[in-house]
Copies of this chain bind each other. A is one copy, B any other.
Amino acid sequence: MMRWIHAAGAALLVLACSATRADEGMWTFHGFPLERANTTLKTKLDQAWLDRVRRATVRLSNCTGSFVSGEGLVLTNHHCVVSCLAELSSKEKSLVDDGFLARDRASEKKCQTQVADVLTEMEDVTAKVNAATAGKSDQAANEARKAELTKLESACEAQSKFKCQAVTLYQGGQYWLYKYKRYTDVRIAFAPEGSIAAFGGDPDNFQFPRWCLDMSVLRVYENGKPAKTPDFLKINFAGPADGDPVLVSGHPGTTNRLLTVAELKWQRNMNLPNWLLRYSELRGRYIQFSEESPDNARIVSDQIQTVENQIKVRRKQLDALLEDQLFERKLAEEKSLRAYVAANDELRATIGDPWTEIEKVQAEYAGNWLPVLFIEQAGGFQGRLATYARALVRGAAERGKPNDQRFREFTDAALPRIEQQLGASVPVYPELEKLRLAFGLERMREWLGPDHPVVRQLLSKESPTELADRLVSGTKLADPAVRMALWKGGEAAIAASDDPMIVMARDIEPTARKLRKEFEDNVEAPIDLASEKIARARFAALGTSVYPDATFTLRLNWGKVGGWVENGKPVHPFTRLQGLFDRATGAEPFKVPDSWVAVRDQLDKDTLFNLVTNNDIVGGNSGSPLISAKGEVVGLLFDGNIHSISGSYWFDTEKNRAVAVHPAIMREALTKVYKADALLKEMSAK
C-alpha cells in the first residue's frame, strides 16, 4: 500500500521541491494543461469538469477519498482507515480483523482523529511573500517567510469559515493560499475484513497481479447530521476497458524528482540506510511482540502493516539510488542546467553556483544531522505518550508567543487539529509504549554514542528499558482529560507538572530547540535559498510547462489503463475473482475470509478485481478515485507496482504503474458477501 510516508523529519529534511517536464505529471488544479490533456487523451475535459472533480475530492489526514453520494459518503481505502478501526477495537472485538458495516446511519462510528478537507478556493500569494523577504539575508528571509505565511493563514481564517493553508510550490517559485472546507466529524460506515482488504499482505504489497478489496466507506457529518455533498462522483460499476483514458485526482505526498546530486547522495548514504536499519529492527520487535499473545497481535497489527509498507518503499528507493544509471542521468541533467546558467551572463550574475552551495551545506550537515534526527525530530522519543508530552510542553511555550513568531506547526490555524488529537479518547497500550520508547532511546544511544550530553543526561543511571518502563508506568498522559487539563493550563501547568513524561520532555526541550535553530539557520535557510535559485534557472531554461514536486496538496494527472512488460513477459492489466481463490493458502496473509468462503458458490468468478494504469502516483494518492473522461469513478487507487516506488526520483514510463480496485468487485462484494444493500443503493445513485 502506498501509504504516505511522513516519518519524523521528512518535513524538515525534504527541502528541495522542484519541477520537471514530461507527459507524466502531478498537476495543480490551477495549472492543469487542459489542452494538452485533451489532445493526448482525445477527450473534451473543461473547466466545469475540473471544478466538479476538485469539489468531489477529499483530503483525509493521511490519504485521499471522493464523495460518492450526495449525503456525505466518502469512498477510500481500507488501509486509510485501519488506525481508526484499531482505535474502535477492543480485546473482545477487532474491527480490523472482522470488518465493520453500519446497518443504519445511527450505527456509523466516529473516527476520532480523522478530518476531511475539500479544496474550495486557491489564491496566489507569491507577490506578498516575496515582498516580505525582499532584501533579507537567508536566515532573516527564512524567518520572515514563515511569519508571512502564518499571517496570511490567520487573516484568511479570520475572514472566512475556511481552513486556510499556505502552500509552497516550485521550491518557492510560487506561494498559494489553499482554502478548504473542513469536516471534523468523520464516521466509518463500512470496512471489509483486513484479510481481504490486504490479501497477500506484505509479500504482495507493491506487486501485481493482486486481489485486494482495499476499500472502505466513510461519511462526513455536519452538526450531527450527514453533510450535503452535491458535488459527488457517480460510480460506473462496469469500469474501464484496456487502453481507456483515466484521470487520478488526489494528494500525492512527497516526490524528490529534482533534488541535486549532492542531496540525492545524502539520501543514499545517510538518510535511507539509517532509517532502514532502525525500522527493520523495530519490525522485528513488533513481530516478536505480536507473537506473545493474540491480544498483542491485535494491538500491534496496524504498526506492523505501516512499518512493513514503509520498509518496502525505502528499500526500493535505496535500490533506485544505488543504480549507476540514475546518478548518471541526474548528473547529466545537472550539468546541462549548470551549462545553461554559465552561458547566460545575467542569470549567472544573479544565481551564482547554488549547486556547490548545497553540496557544501550537505557536507557540513553530514556530521550534525543525527542529533537533529534523534532529539529535535524525536527519533529517540517514540510512541504516543512521548509525542503527547512534546506537543504539550512545546505547545505551552509556543502559545505564549505572538502568532507569527511561533513554530509553524503551532500557529492559531494549526491549534484545532492539535486539540482534536490531544483530546481524542484513543487507546494507549503501555507494553507497546514501553517497547517503542525503549527502542527509540536505545537507538539514540547507539547513533549519538554514550557520550552525547543528552544521552548522558537521560541514561547515566538507567538503561533505556528501565527509563522507558518508569516513564510509561508513571505518566498519566494516556488519559485525555489529563492531557486537556495540561493543554489548557499552559506554561504554568507544564512548569508545575511532575508527570515523568512531561518532566523528560521539559528537560530535553532546550537542547531540542537549540538544534532546531541551528538546523534552520545553517541548513534549511541556505538550502532553501540555493534551491530557489536552481528553480529560477530551471524556469528560465525550461519555461513554465512544468509541474511542481508533490506536497500532499491536490493534483490531477492523466494516463490510461494498461499493463507492462516484466522480464520479457507481458503483465495483463486486470485480475478476476477466480484468481483470489487460486492464490489462497488458508494461512495469513493469503487467507480468504470466512464470509467469502461461505458464499463462494454464489460469486461470479469472472468479476473483475484489480487493475493497473500508467498514472503518475505516489503515497498520499491512496484512496484516489480513478476517473473516466465522463467524470465517473471507474476505480479506487490503492497501490503502485514495485517500479512505482522509484517515482520518488523519476517517472519510468515503461514500467511505473498504479494499482486500483475495480468497481465490479466492490458491487459483487457489497451485494453477495456483505449484503450491504442500503449502502450500495446510496453509492449507486446518480
Residues of A that sit less than 8 Å from B by CB? 200, 202-204, 207, 265, 268-269, 273, 276-278, 280-289, 291-292, 311, 315, 318-319, 322-324, 435, 439, 445-446, 449-450, 459-463, 465-466, 583, 585-588, 590
Contact = CB atoms under 8 A, between A and B. Distances in A.
A203 B276 contact: no
Given A288-B435, A289-B288, A449-B203, A460 B585 contact: yes
Nearest to A462: B587
A323 to B, nearest CB: 8
10 contacts: A203-B445, A203-B446, A203-B450, A273-B319, A277-B280, A280-B280, A280-B284, A283-B284, A284-B288, A450-B590
A318 B322 CA distance: 12
B322 A268 contact: yes
Contacts of A439: 284
A450 B285 contact: no
Contacts of A207: 449
A324 B583 CA distance: 45
A402 B337 CA distance: 67
Among all A-B residue pairs, the 9 with the closest Cβ atoms: A284-B284, A288-B288, A280-B280, A281-B284, A284-B285, A463-B587, A285-B288, A269-B322, A280-B281
A15 B495 CA distance: 63
A461 B280 contact: no
Contact of A287 (B265, B285, B459, B588): B285
A322 B321 CA distance: 11
Contacts of A289: 288
Given A202-B446, A280-B281, A461-B586, 13 more contacts: A204-B450, A265-B324, A269-B322, A273-B315, A273-B319, A283-B284, A284-B288, A285-B287, A285-B288, A288-B289, A291-B465, A450-B583, A461-B585
Contact of A587 (B203, B311, B459): B459
Contact of A585 (B282, B315, B459): B459
Given A291-B465, A322-B269, A585-B460, A277 B203 contact: no
A272 to B, nearest CB: 10
Contacts of A460: 585
A276 B284 CA distance: 13
A115 to B, nearest CB: 33
A315 B269 CA distance: 11
A583 B450 CA distance: 10
A20 B284 CA distance: 40
Nearest to A450: B203
A439 B291 CA distance: 12
A1 to B, nearest CB: 16
A178 B323 CA distance: 43
Contacts of A286: 284
A459 B292 CA distance: 22
Contacts of A587: 459, 461-463, 466
Contacts of A445: 203
A288 to B, nearest CB: 4
- Among A276, A278, A287, A319, the one with the most B-chain Cβ atoms within 10 Å of its Cβ is A287
Given A203-B446, A287-B285, A450-B204, A311 B461 contact: no
A182 B203 CA distance: 48
Contacts of A273: 273, 276, 315, 318-319, 322
Nearest to A268: B322
Contact of A283 (B276, B281, B588): B281
Contacts of A268: 322
A128 to B, nearest CB: 43
A277 B319 CA distance: 13
Contacts of A292: 292
Contacts of A278: 280
A450 B585 CA distance: 10
Contact of A276 (B277, B288, B435): B277
Nearest to A315: B277
A288 B590 CA distance: 26
A60 to B, nearest CB: 29
A77 B496 CA distance: 52
Contact of A463 (B311, B446, B588): B588
A280 to B, nearest CB: 4
A285 to B, nearest CB: 4
A291 to B, nearest CB: 7
Contacts of A322: 268-269, 273
Nearest to A459: B585
B284 A450 contact: no
Contacts of A315: 273, 277
- Among A285, A460, A588, A590, the one with the most B-chain Cβ atoms within 10 Å of its Cβ is A285
A647 B225 CA distance: 69
Contacts of A276: 273, 276-277, 280
A315 to B, nearest CB: 7
A436 to B, nearest CB: 12
Nearest to A203: B450
A315 B319 CA distance: 16
A34 B148 CA distance: 74
Nearest to A277: B280
A449 B281 CA distance: 21
A619 B459 CA distance: 30
- Among A268, A281, A461, A466, the one with the most B-chain Cβ atoms within 10 Å of its Cβ is A281
A268 B321 CA distance: 12
Nearest to A324: B265
A284 B287 CA distance: 9
Contacts of A281: 280-281, 283-284, 287
Contacts of A269: 319, 322-323
A276 B323 CA distance: 19
